[in-house]
Structure 1
Amino acid sequence: MVEIGDAAQGNEVAQRIPEEARRILHNLADKWSDVADSKALEVVQLKGAMTNEVYQVKWPSSEEAAASRKVLVRIYGEGVDMFFNREDEIRTFECMSRHGQGPRLLGRFPTGRIEEFIHARTLSAADLRDPEISTLIASKLREFHDLDMPGPKNVFLWDRLRNWLQAAKSLCTPEEAKEFSLDTIEQEIATLENELSGENQRIGFCHNDLQYGNIMIDEETRVVTIIDYEYTSFNPIAYDIANHFSEMAADYHTDTPHILDFNKYPDLAERKRFVKIYLSSSGEKPDDTEVNRLLEDIEKYTLASHLVWGLWGIISEHVNEIDFDYMEYARQRFQQFWAMKPLLLSSSTK
């Protein structure tokens, strides 16, 4: 999270908040007795978001030693309706809030929403490798996967891949389609689905985008909160963990946030530790066979993760105005898919 430095920049950032959102913000602040001026908004853009623009809005408190009132304003990115149904995401957001799993919804406007500000720290890329924090994430993720959410419990991964493949084909140029071998990806999806759709798959309510920016920690209580539910759905839990491990290659707060370093992918000892904590956090005692089977499935599902976010990058390049090199990001995910496929899929050697 980066605070805008001088007043001129701050005013410029504040102008990005739509008028409809401002009215909701003013109405919220009018109900708070410790806010002297409901229109005295201090707006800070939070960096690292690649689907939406996210702003912290606060009002100076009139009470000495009292903390400032803060909320979060999320302005939806252009073209994101290609990725998920916004109404479904709002329903998930509200349901998660009822489960005590995330921030409360404070207001909606046509191009975004206002959320409760969680007084916790957003994780950094380095935090994912911290053994203590990783332990907390593993336990929290198991709790997340076990949520009894409404709606069908069907695996959504393969439909998402096929839908996004069609969207990418419809948007990209012939040169881009050739570069990414998009005509072959349908078969790659079918191969992955055939290889990975075994009877022993554990299905859960998955976040599907568990990068460090979507995890917060309260420094005092050490409570971890998973936020941002745009991509949530029921899926194999091995896929969600695979996606989390793959995100360790990223640092979205550098001068080149699109550059990935897969040398940072966790080694076997780190992966095994995470999986053991994940499986045992509900009270069960997993045996070595269960641990090793899940570890093997996770590695294979990294291939699905690379395809998902590779296609996401291609689509985003054509529909999103956020300053991020989506196409280079997609290029790296596809390169990693092709590099790892022969090592991870038995069918690739037949």
Structure 2
Amino acid sequence: MAALTHVPVTLSPDQSPTKTAMRDIIAAFFPKEWPFVDPETLTLSYSTTFANPHCKVERAVPITGTAIEPLKLLIKFHNDSMADMEVFKHLVPTKQEEALISLEFGRSGLGAKVYGFFKTEDGTLGRIDEFIDGRGLKPEDVEDSGIQADIARGLARFHTLDFDLDGKEVTGRGFSEALVQGLRRYQGMKKLEEFGRHAGVDIDRLIDYDFATAVEEVVEKLESLNAKKAWCIHDVQYGNIIVRNHPQPGKSKTVLVDFEFAMRNFRAFDIGGHFMQKIFDWYGQDSKIVNCREYLEEERRYFCDEYAREWNIRTGDSDTGDEVFVEAEYGVLLAVAFDVHNMLCAMEEEGGDDPLSLLGLNELYGAFVKQFNKLDGARRSLSGASR
């Protein structure tokens, strides 16, 4: 388990950090230079945009010009980001377990290094991570075969790590059962339909659609394929894939971050989710739907070939890219259904009626129905041909 360090710092009630507090937290892990930094010389950038508020902290280059401790770090303050998603609470890692996952993956060079896990006097939990000099992945990035391959290898490396998380579901079945339970709760909910009407976006078809039964069929198909299971990230939206500004020769250009939703599941979930997320930007100010082309089949197959190669290196298996591709086609449906559930959950809890989000929700519905019908039609054709 990741060691928890108590730091003699008290944060304000809203956790808004001060320069002195940030200096003192960092100094608890870097005792040679950071304790002597004048807090007023620090540069802070604080954001609450994502699930976990975070603060970028940078100090000046020492007068000697040679630093023995990092100049720039990322501090994450942990919130209970699953508080409104009760059905998954027994599956997701605790914050200390998330720190362990991040620590282990960071050692691979494909994730950010973790320097420390702390608790302040007021009870705030947080983590000090390596600051990655880069930017969020953009849809056009994944049209580059080199970046496609880096992401594929990163996912395979994550999936083949063995995280010993006491008491967590280890079969992968728990995720699908929880998802089905959650989706059934929202099907036909008039309260959600009213939110849509108030926003001027008709989501009635989505609310009435039987996602739960469809997901059960998808899971049954994946089981029949003997689809592989692993610890999956479950949050592969493009903001959680960092493209390095100055990658070292021969090293991965991409870094995977944020593992608060890590659970056991079919590996196909993350792969299919990565393909699906290309056309969505949930933090977009003008639209949640990206004006770009979808992942081409030839790109998806190439991605799956690279993934299978890395998976086999790590496990000794002999999976083919074609096998991974078929799994990922069903994984798309699990990933879309998960996003639909999470958005409906947030709508009910927060009274969400943002038209842009609801339009994005309808786009998810359309993507699910289109993919489900395509795969169901292929299954029926094969079944008929075999008789």
Normalising by structure 1, what TM-score? 0.78
Q: Does 2:308 correspond to 1:305?
A: no
CA-atom RMSD in angstroms: 3.8
Q: Secondary structure at the match of 1:52?
A: coil
CA-to-aligned-CA distance 1:210-268 (integer Å, 9 cap, x gap): 2322223443323343211111112111222101111111345653352245x632111
- Asked whether the equivalents of residues 149 and 303 of structure 2 are also in contact (C-alpha less than 8 Å), the reply is yes
Distance 1:343 1:234, change over 3 A: same
- Asked whether the equivalents of residues 165 and 182 of structure 1 are also in contact (C-alpha less than 8 Å), the reply is no
Distance 1:174 1:91, change over 3 A: closer
CA-to-aligned-CA distance 1:275-334 (integer Å, 9 cap, x gap): 1111122447968xx332332221122122111101111222344699985433322211
Query: Which residue does the alignment assign to 1:142?
Result: 156
Query: Which residue does the alignment assign to 1:175?
Result: 193
Query: Which residue does the alignment assign to 2:299?
Result: 270
Query: Which residue does the alignment assign to 2:247?
Result: 220
- Asked whether the equivalents of residues 252 and 258 of structure 1 are also in contact (C-alpha less than 8 Å), the reply is yes
Q: Secondary structure at the match of 2:63?
A: coil
Residues in 1 aligned to 2:363 and 2:324: alpha-carbon distance in whole angstroms? 26
Query: Which residue does the alignment assign to 1:103?
Result: 113
CA-to-aligned-CA distance 1:49-101 (integer Å, 9 cap, x gap): 54333332334455354573322334537664526547524303224404525
- Asked whether the equivalents of residues 128 and 212 of structure 1 are also in contact (C-alpha less than 8 Å), the reply is no
- Asked whether the equivalents of residues 272 and 331 of structure 2 are also in contact (C-alpha less than 8 Å), the reply is yes
Amino acid at match of 2:296: D
Choose the corresponding residue for 2:367, options 306, 317, 336.
Answer: 336
- Asked whether the equivalents of residues 60 and 68 of structure 1 are also in contact (C-alpha less than 8 Å), the reply is yes
Amino acid at match of 1:293: E
Structure 2, gaps ≥5 residues long: 1-11, 195-202
Q: Secondary structure at the match of 1:314?
A: helix
Residues in 1 aligned to 2:23 and 2:349: alpha-carbon distance in whole angstroms? 28
Residues in 1 aligned to 2:283 and 2:300: alpha-carbon distance in whole angstroms? 24
Q: Secondary structure at the match of 1:56?
A: strand
Choose the corresponding residue for 2:16, options 9, 13, 18.
Answer: 18
- Asked whether the equivalents of residues 134 and 274 of structure 1 are also in contact (C-alpha less than 8 Å), the reply is yes
Query: Which residue does the alignment assign to 2:137?
Result: 124
Percent identity between matched residues is 16
Mean Cα displacement is larger for which, 331-340 or 69-78? Answer: 69-78
Amino acid at match of 2:370: A
Mean Cα displacement is larger for which, 141-150 or 93-102? Answer: 93-102
Choose the corresponding residue for 1:244, options 274, 281, 287.
Answer: 274
Query: Which residue does the alignment assign to 2:100?
Result: 94
Residues in 1 aligned to 2:269 and 2:223: alpha-carbon distance in whole angstroms? 11
Q: Secondary structure at the match of 2:326?
A: helix
Could you say which structure has the larger radius of gyration?
2
- Asked whether the equivalents of residues 77 and 322 of structure 1 are also in contact (C-alpha less than 8 Å), the reply is no
- Asked whether the equivalents of residues 313 and 329 of structure 1 are also in contact (C-alpha less than 8 Å), the reply is no
Q: Quote the offset at 1:146 in angstroms.
A: 0.7
